[in-house]
């Protein structure tokens, strides 16, 4: 890192801290001007056959969901969707699952902010949606979904939602079971360095899930208090079977079973009883147990039906997380100050039995313990009726210790300034510019070893891994020609340090490690326009995602970073009437790449065409028919192995031409 970059970082820290400290001494003034949100009510989602909050948001023109990964802690919202001004608490359930648990009968209205929203918990987002709920008028809702693929039918999903108001509390019980099944076939071709085919095989891949999810949520709304409690329990079972039939030689079978159980509790409390200050507290506790067993069998079915070689990999992981956050804010102040601190403690205990020790079993025990303290201060002020400035200083003090083959302990202090300038012309145009420094949370899975037998891949855990850091500049433009014709463009540029790549580790293995610096650029474009002049109630949506990165690889020189998909393009046509809606979705080909020490792995996903139609049979009964991959789902998986490392000559290659037949689902929702 150059001396100029270091000086600019220090100046950036000083500038944001000075602004925040200066504004704390400003006198109280009238509340700052806020943009008026675009409000959607029951009439909007009734026209679009929406049954849940997810359905409504999916149909809001001009809104782009942004979901950032935050593995641990409660420092800030991870998505630009709030429920009653609060970020969803559950981490067991995905955001999509939580939104599907909110029926439209439970929604009073939904507000869309293009900029200048008043919610400090999501200050990192300019565009934001806030769902305002009400007491549910429907006591019981039943949902069922069946699926058909490759001539086999299955009951894909069943859920029950019960609303039970009691003594001022709005209680809701959600019980959901999912049993999706996926089947694909592939042709395998192995080639030598000259491109000559040396081996062919057939692959059959099946995936079966059995998931049970139970959520109990309670919400209390009073004049001075708002309380939300959430209890969630999950049990998930995933079974994968891959069979490679090498007709000229033998047969290989890979069986992987993953059993996961999770229990979490979350609480959120807002107190508005002070003259001008508000108090906000939240807490979260979670425990996850994860068991994985992989069996690789190699045998010759014609000469010896018995397994000639059996390799087993077993791993158990227990993750415990405790987090709390407390904040005090003054929304009526000219600068809307907020002061808070988030504290979290996370522990991972993993026991790994490598397959290489099948005849001489050993246990590798790894322990990771992390404690984090994140105090922050935030100010927000309206410079005039159109411009708003938000500044925030996050401080992160963390202590990470690992126990295992190579024990490690590190204490780090990071100052993470954030500044956003919003412009809202109140004539359907908004613009925001953001500058920030961030420290990405570590993925605890990178600390422990893992195996992917069907890809002939062994990854060693890295107990000395450090987090990646980045500086980011970003811009976002939103334009609404009308309620149904919108344009959203966002772009960012990151300067990344300590990027995570697959590299040789000090323990002699290969795994995720800190590999140096990279530059990362991305742009998202979303266009929605109505075609009422051609077809009343029709609209077309275009989405394009572009990513580009440069990383100075010590092995091969400049290349993209791992896990990069350069282009993603999607087109949707949707036609809606009061009772019936239907649509077509088209996705173009995508390319995904991973760089290992001696291997390059790519996935070429073919274009897909998807269809759906929805119908309201009655006021309380709704059905939906969907077809995924109408013209088959085609994916090409390629592995290229090199001598010594990727700078060496090509040693071998394998190509899998994967094919999945169309999947048809029929679902029904009925409320009582």
Sorted by where each begins, the domain ranges of the chain are 3-354+366-671
**3-state class of 601 per DSSP?**
strand
Q: Are 73 and 394 in contact, with CB atoms under 8 Å apart?
A: no
More confident residue, 511 or 50: 511
Of the listed ranges 135-144, 182-191, 266-275, 584-593, the one predicted with least confidence: 135-144
Nearest of 321, 273, 336, 425 to residue 123 by alpha carbon: 336
**628-661 confidence digits (pLDDT tens):** 988 889 999 999 999 988 989 998 899 999 999 9
Measured CA to CA, the distance from residue 143 to residue 134 in angstroms comes to: 21
Measured CA to CA, the distance from residue 565 to residue 187 in angstroms comes to: 24
Q: At 229, which helix (H) or strand (E)?
A: strand 225-245
Q: Please tell me the predicted confidence (pLDDT) of residue 327.
A: 93
Mean pLDDT over 244-268 rounds to: 85
**3-state class of 554 per DSSP?**
coil
Split at pLDDT 50, 70, 90, the class of 402 is: confident
303: Cβ–Cβ under 8 A, 6 or more apart, which residues?
A: none
DSSP 11-61: HHHHHHHHHHHHHTTSPP-SPPP-PPPEEE-HHHHHTTT--BHHHHHHT-T
Measured CA to CA, the distance from residue 641 to residue 608 in angstroms comes to: 30
CA torsion, ordered 100, 104, 106, 107, to nearest 10 deg: 110
Nearest of 457, 368, 364 to residue 405 by alpha carbon: 364
Nearest of 635, 631, 634, 625 to residue 664 by alpha carbon: 625
Nearest of 398, 402, 392 to residue 413 by alpha carbon: 398
Q: Please tell me the predicted confidence (pLDDT) of residue 35.
A: 66
More confident residue, 32 or 595: 595
Report the first-to-last Cα separation within the chain, whole angstroms: 63
Nearest 5°: the CA angle 513, 518, 519 is 150
Find where tokens 């005849």 sit. 359
Q: Please tell me the predicted confidence (pLDDT) of residue 247.
A: 65
Determine the distance from the C-alpha atom of residue 663 to the mean position of all C-alpha atoms in its chain, rounded to a whole number. 24
Q: Please tell me the predicted confidence (pLDDT) of residue 639.
A: 93
DSSP 368-392: EEEEEEEEEEEEEEESSSSEEEEEE
Q: Please tell me the predicted confidence (pLDDT) of residue 114.
A: 80
Q: Please tell me the predicted confidence (pLDDT) of residue 152.
A: 84
> pLDDT at residue 4 above 60?
no
Measured CA to CA, the distance from residue 13 to residue 7 in angstroms comes to: 10
> pLDDT at residue 29 above 70?
no
Determine the distance from the C-alpha atom of residue 274 to the mean position of all C-alpha atoms in its chain, rounded to a whole number. 37
More confident residue, 59 or 593: 593
Nearest of 144, 146, 244, 254 to residue 203 by alpha carbon: 244
> pLDDT at residue 10 above 70?
no
State the sign of the Cα–Cα–Cα–Cα dihedral 81, 84, 85, 86.
Answer: negative
Percent of the chain with pLDDT over 90: 42
Token digits of residue 457: 């891949």
More confident residue, 202 or 79: 202
Q: Maximum distance among all alpha carbons in the chain?
A: 88
Token digits of residue 447: 């600390």
**203-252 confidence digits (pLDDT tens):** 999 999 999 999 999 988 888 888 999 999 999 999 999 988 876 567 78
Give this prediction's pTM: 0.86
> pLDDT at residue 602 above 90?
yes
More confident residue, 170 or 48: 170
Domain 3-354+366-671 falls under CATH 2.40.170.20: yes
Percent of the chain with pLDDT over 70: 90
């Amino acid at each position: 890192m150059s001396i100029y970059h270091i000086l600019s970082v220090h100046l950036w820290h000083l500038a944001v801290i000075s602004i925040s400290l200066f504004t704390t001494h400003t006198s109280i003034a009238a509340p700052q001007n806020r943009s008026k949100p675009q409000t959607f009510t029951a009439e909007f989602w009734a026209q679009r056959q929406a049954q849940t909050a997810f359905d409504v948001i999916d149909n809001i023109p001009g809104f782009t969901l942004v979901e950032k990964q935050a593995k641990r802690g409660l420092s800030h919202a991870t998505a630009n969707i709030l429920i009653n001004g609060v970020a969803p608490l559950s981490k067991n359930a995905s955001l999509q699952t939580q939104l599907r648990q909110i029926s439209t009968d439970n929604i009073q209205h939904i507000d869309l902010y293009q900029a200048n929203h008043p919610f400090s918990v999501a200050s990192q987002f300019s565009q934001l949606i806030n769902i305002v709920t009400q007491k549910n008028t429907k006591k019981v809702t039943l949902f069922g979904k069946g699926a058909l693929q490759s001539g086999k039918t299955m009951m894909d999903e069943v859920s029950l939602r019960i609303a039970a108001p009691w003594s001022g509390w709005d209680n809701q019980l959600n019980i959901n079971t999912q049993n999706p099944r996926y089947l694909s076939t592939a042709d395998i071709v192995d080639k030598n360095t000259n491109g000559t085919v040396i081996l062919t095989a057939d692959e059959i891949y099946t995936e079966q899930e059995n998931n049970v999810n139970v959520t109990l949520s309670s919400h209390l709304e009073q004049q001075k208090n708002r309380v939300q409690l959430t209890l969630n329990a999950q049990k998930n079972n995933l079974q994968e079977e891959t069979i490679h039939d090498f007709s000229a030689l033998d047969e290989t079978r890979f069986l992987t079973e993953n059993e996961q159980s999770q229990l979490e509790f979350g609480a959120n409390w807002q107190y508005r009883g002070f003259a001008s200050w508000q108090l906000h507290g939240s807490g979260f506790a979670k425990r996850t147990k994860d068991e994985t067993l992989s069996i690789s069998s190699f045998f010759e079915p014609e000469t010896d039906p018995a397994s000639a070689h059996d390799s087993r990999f077993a791993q158990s992981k227990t993750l415990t997380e405790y987090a709390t956050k407390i904040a005090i804010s003054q929304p009526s102040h000219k600068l809307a100050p907020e002061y808070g601190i988030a504290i979290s403690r996370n522990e991972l205990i993993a026991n790994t039995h490598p397959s290489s020790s099948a005849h001489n079993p050993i246990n590798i025990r790894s322990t990771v313990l992390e404690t984090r303290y994140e105090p922050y201060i935030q100010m927000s002020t309206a410079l005039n009726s159109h411009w708003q400035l938000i500044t925030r200083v996050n401080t992160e003090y963390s202590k990470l210790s690992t126990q295992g083959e190579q024990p490690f302990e590190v204490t780090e202090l990071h100052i993470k300034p954030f500044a956003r300038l919003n412009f809202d012309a109140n004539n359907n145009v908004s613009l925001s510019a953001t500058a920030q420094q961030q420290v990405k949370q570590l993925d605890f899975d990178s600390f422990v070893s893992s195996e992917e037998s069907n890809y002939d891949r062994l990854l060693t855990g890295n107990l000395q891994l450090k987090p990646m850091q980045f500086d980011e500049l970003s811009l976002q433009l939103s334009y609404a020609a009308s309620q149904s014709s919108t344009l959203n463009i966002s772009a960012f540029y990151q300067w990344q340090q300590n990027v995570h790549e697959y590299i040789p580790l000090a323990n002699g293995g290969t795994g995720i490690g800190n590999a140096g610096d990279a530059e990362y650029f991305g742009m998202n474009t979303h266009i929605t326009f109505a075609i009422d002049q051609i077809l009343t109630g029709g609209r077309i949506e275009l989405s394009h995602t572009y990513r580009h990165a440069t990383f100075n690889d010590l092995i091969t020189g400049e290349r993209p970073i791992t896990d990069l998909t350069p282009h993603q393009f999607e087109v949707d046509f949707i036609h809606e009437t009061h009772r019936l809606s239907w649509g077509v979705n088209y996705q173009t080909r995508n390319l995904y790449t991973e760089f290992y020490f001696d291997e390059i792995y790519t996935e070429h996903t073919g274009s897909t065409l998807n269809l759906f139609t929805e119908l309201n049979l009655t006021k309380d009964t709704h059905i939906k028919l969907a077809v995924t991959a109408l013209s088959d789902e085609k994916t090409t998986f390629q592995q290229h192995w090199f001598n010594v490392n990727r700078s060496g000559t090509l040693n071998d290659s394998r190509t899998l031409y994967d094919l999945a037949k169309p999947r048809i689902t029929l679902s029904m929702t009925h409320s009582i």
